[in-house]
Structure 1
Amino acid sequence: MSAATLVIPPAPAPARRVGGPARTIGLTVMLARPARQGIAAQLLPVVAFAVTTALLLIVAGGVHMFFTDARAAGDTAMLYQVLSALALVLLTVPIATLGAAAARLSARRRNDRLATLRLLGASVAEVSAMTVLEAATTALAGAIAGVALSVALLPLVELLPFFGGPVGAAALWAGPAIAAAAVVGVVAIATASAAWGLRRVHLTPLGVRRRTDPPRRRTAVLIGGVLALIAVALLAANVNVLAQLWGSAVTIIVLLGLFAGALLLVNVIGAPITAARGRAMARSTSSPARLIAGRELAAHAAVAWRRVSGIAMISFIAVVGGSGASLATMGGTEGADVVIFDDMRTGVLVTLGIGFALLACSVGVTQAASVLEDRELIVGLDRLGMPARELDRARSLAVMVPLLWAALGGAAVGGVLAFPFVGATILFAPVSMLIIAGTFVAGILLVRLSLLATRPLVTAMRRGA
């Protein structure tokens, strides 16, 4: 064969890489498909976002009513507005916590898949866009459902007695602007939480995939949080000095900020305390269940604390609200005083009721998420021959140990902040003690029931392994 007849085929053209928005949307749809955890990982965040938005709108509607309703005008207007703002502050932190928990619910599954895509060549921009798109879409669907849920609940909420009779639905509807702001806020929380979680996928995709994160010690965070709590308590104790320096209006705003800051600080120091307790358990026990629970608490203290942080908020609210209920019980018995103190009692009960609704939703979401997230650990222990009873005991210890610290810590901080305003007589009154004790019992029982409710899911995982 001559050189003239030798035909060399042309080199194949390089495969065209599909990029741009179409590729990102396609990968996001693929990422959102249910994995081994099932469709629950997709539905639970939507439900949690819906409950978050609905309760936020109900609380905001109540505050809007006290600031705009003519029935609260006159000498008592400031009292109603301050108390409603305090209730909003007390409930905003657990509402935001529930929203953040919903955003993190499927983060483990999403991070695993995103890390895999990064190892296969996906760019940082594509991973970021997919995360934000998925989180925003999930939160938007839940928030819109929450707006509809809040409207559906109005016929029930309007029966609440304030000002001597039912308030009515019109007074409790905060308006479309506040509803839109609530939707935007929920979506923002979800997007920010998802974007914050991306830092691990961007930097250590192999570590995320292999789950090799070393536990971090947060001694400085614990010390700083405790010192900050002491500073908050000292400021609250010197409320009279603040009022003389800044005036009543500024002092009220500062005090509301102090209460919100105290709630946040309880969450900040909760994880380091949980980690320290877990390390102590792991060092000083020979029980397999306590050893596993201790190591789990030490290695994943932040996750363990988030599972029970709702009870810290409810304990805080119970102390502050219980003091308010005791104060209302000792109030006047004639004329306008009767209406005012009846409204105070109603406000305390409504605040606690919404708080328990948040706790129930938060506990249900976090406990179900913990089972889905700990699938590999559950299956691995089962394959090693660990009895089901010991596995259930280890799961229970990993929840109940931080739960005790959360309940006591939230109540202690609430008591320290409430003491300068109400004194020991009100703080330790029978009504206050009854509300605090009832909150402890109900909260612990609720967490216990959530553990029982997730046991079938654990059993299914063990059988499916």
Structure 2
Amino acid sequence: MRPSTLVRLALAGTRTDTVRVALTALSAALATLVALAALTVLAIPTPPATDGNGSRWSHQYANQLLVEPGLRGGTAFALLLLMIPVLALAGQCARLGAPARDRRLAAFRLAGATPGQVTRIAVLEAGLASLLGTLAGASVHFVGRELFDRPDARGRLVLPTDVLPAPGVLAAVLAGLPVVAALATALMLRRVSTTPFGVLRTHRRERGPRPWAGVLIGAGLAAFVAVEPVTRLYDRRDTDPPSWLVPALLVSGGLAAMVGVVVGTGWISWTAGRMLHRYARGPAALLAARRLTADPWAGSRTFAALLAAVLLGAGAAGLREYFVAAGELGRRTGSGLAGDDGFYLRTMDLVDLAVAVAMLVAAGGLVVAVVEGITARRRAYAALVATGVPRPTLGRSIAWQSLAPAVPAVAVALAVGLLLARGLFRTPTASHYDEVCDATAQLCADPATRARHTRVVAMPDVTVPPDVPLEQLALLGAGALAGVLATVGVGLLLLRASTAVEELRVT
């Protein structure tokens, strides 16, 4: 098959295929913007130490997150974490219109295409959509650099528009995202056989998921808890830890915990389906139970972006309470964050804004997933309606199917996010010293004689335990579940059209 023919077949399709390509390109554009923003922050050079700038701050910026070299790594890390919900959204968009795409691929096989050629068509479609999105995101980034390259009255820049990542890094981002999308598509198709009569799975799961995701969550928590003992070990040796050690623990631990929460939703869905099948009595709950046990991994795919955003939000809430406690400790002892807690709390406001954006992105992924699920099973729903099942019963079954795994999965994500923050930032404690005068009140009151009778006494350590951010956690959980309910409502709007009896004749 010639390359031109391969490209033309990859771009062919219906309006649903066009929407899928557009949404995939939009996700790739968002991921490109986030990646370029993080790499630009890391590309800011640290000025040499001078008499007037011993802290090596970059005073050409107005934002303290860009001024202090020690804060740039955390800022870039937070931006990179935002890519996780965006990539999960891309995965959801890639499944939109999957039945129609499967029929189109089967038609290619019927026309004489080989299985390898059909796989290359699907891989090329994902790669081209991601390439278009990556180029669009890069264009928006460079246009934004020109628009925001306006110093304020003091000559400071709001954003780092005066620096760029290395050309090799830029090329790696622009070429890496489409390649990753193509490789992910090829990986997902490795257990799929495209025949002239449809797309068949060559591997079937004969038993339900096992709770091995808890091992990943435990490993992630252990990595965060290990940061403080590791740094203390190097302090006792009077040496600095390797520059890669702490970031490696944080990145690997965070990703392990996040993957564990997302993958664990499959076991939660399987368990919820079995419990509903055993104890439920209504037809809606029983229909949802069968669906949950038949495809327990649908929950992991559907709620991946939402759970990642909830976990990040819970971690940010725990970190905010640590800064509040550290500020109170500083005010009590005259050290620590006595005067800087306001800056850190304002920084956490930016993190909360990023979490809100991630939640909105996750809500878009939920809408795509619910619509795709209803569209893919429209013949089954139409058959149920034809046999006498009322449409309201189907609507309630869809709500059960969404909320039964979502409620416990959101609770687990909240708990894991808070535990990650507490494992990394322990209870703030500070030593406290006081002056004691061992003379009479008259001698102690006289500054000339007080110094001869005063000694410094070590007082008990002062500890300020951080509060549990119940209000923020409740808002996060309620917002996540409200998003699930809203997307279920959007799906129910399509239920009547998807359950028409005519759908039984759709091939």
- Assess same fold via TM > 0.5: yes
Q: What's the offset of the Cα at 1:322?
A: 0.7
In 2, Cα distance between equivalents of 1:268 and 1:427? 32
Distance 1:90 1:255, change over 3 A: same
Q: Which amino acid aligns with 2:90?
A: G
- Correspondence 1:382 to 2:385: yes
In 1, Cα distance between equivalents of 2:45 and 2:414? 28
TM-score under structure 2 length normalisation = 0.73
Give unmatched runs, 5+ long, in structure 1: 1-18
Q: Which has the higher mean CA deviation after the structures are superposed, 269-278 or 404-413?
A: 269-278
In 2, Cα distance between equivalents of 1:25 and 1:328? 54
Q: What's the offset of the Cα at 1:132?
A: 1.7
**How much identity, in percent, do the aligned residues show?**
21
Is contact 2:223-2:249 (8 Å) kept? no
Q: Which residue of 1 aligns with 2:258?
A: 263
Distance 1:78 1:377, change over 3 A: farther
SS of the equivalent of 2:280 reads coil
SS of the equivalent of 1:170 reads coil
In 2, Cα distance between equivalents of 1:142 and 1:268? 28
Q: What's the offset of the Cα at 1:127?
A: 1.1
Task: Provide Cα deviations, 1:186-231, integer angstroms capped at 9, x if missing partner.
Answer: 31232123212322333x64895478975443545x33x3223323
Task: Provide Cα deviations, 1:155-214, integer angstroms capped at 9, x if missing partner.
Answer: 99999x9xxx97236269768765554443331232123212322333x64895478975
Alignment length (residue pairs): 438
Q: Which has the higher strand share?
A: 2
TM-score under structure 1 length normalisation = 0.79
Is contact 1:314-1:439 (8 Å) kept? no
- Correspondence 1:302 to 2:297: yes
Q: Which amino acid aligns with 1:188?
A: V
Q: Which residue of 2 aligns with 1:15?
A: none
Is contact 2:134-2:174 (8 Å) kept? yes
Distance 1:89 1:405, change over 3 A: farther
Q: Which has the higher helix share?
A: 1
What are the residue-to-residue correspondences of 1:298-447 with 2, within 5 Å?
A: 298-330=293-325, 331=327, 337=340, 340-423=343-426, 429=467, 432-447=469-484
Q: Which residue of 2 aligns with 1:200?
A: 191
Q: Which has the higher mean CA deviation after the structures are superposed, 244-253 or 373-382?
A: 244-253
In 2, Cα distance between equivalents of 1:371 and 1:158? 47
Is contact 1:322-1:436 (8 Å) kept? yes
- Correspondence 1:84 to 2:75: yes
- Correspondence 1:44 to 2:34: no
SS of the equivalent of 1:100 reads helix
- Correspondence 1:247 to 2:227: no
SS of the equivalent of 1:70 reads coil
In 2, Cα distance between equivalents of 1:387 and 1:400? 20
Q: Which amino acid aligns with 2:224?
A: A
- Correspondence 1:229 to 2:217: yes
Task: Provide Cα deviations, 1:419-452, integer angstroms capped at 9, x if missing partner.
Answer: 233347988626x322222111112112221222
Q: What's the offset of the Cα at 1:52?
A: 3.6
What are the residue-to-residue correspondences of 1:9-28 with 2, within 5 Å?
A: 19-21=1-3, 23-28=5-10
Q: Which residue of 2 aligns with 1:97?
A: 88
In 1, Cα distance between equivalents of 2:3 and 2:160? 44
In 2, Cα distance between equivalents of 1:357 and 1:155? 27
In 1, Cα distance between equivalents of 2:90 and 2:65? 37
Is contact 2:273-2:293 (8 Å) kept? yes
Distance 1:399 1:299, change over 3 A: same
Is contact 2:262-2:303 (8 Å) kept? no
Task: Provide Cα deviations, 1:205-262, integer angstroms capped at 9, x if missing partner.
Answer: 4895478975443545x33x32233233234323333222572632243223211221
Is contact 1:103-1:190 (8 Å) kept? no
Is contact 1:42-1:106 (8 Å) kept? no
Q: Which amino acid aligns with 2:6?
A: T
Relative contact order, higher structure (CA 8 A, sep 6+): 1
Distance 1:208 1:329, change over 3 A: farther
Q: Which residue of 2 aligns with 1:16?
A: none
- Correspondence 1:217 to 2:207: yes
SS of the equivalent of 2:425 reads helix
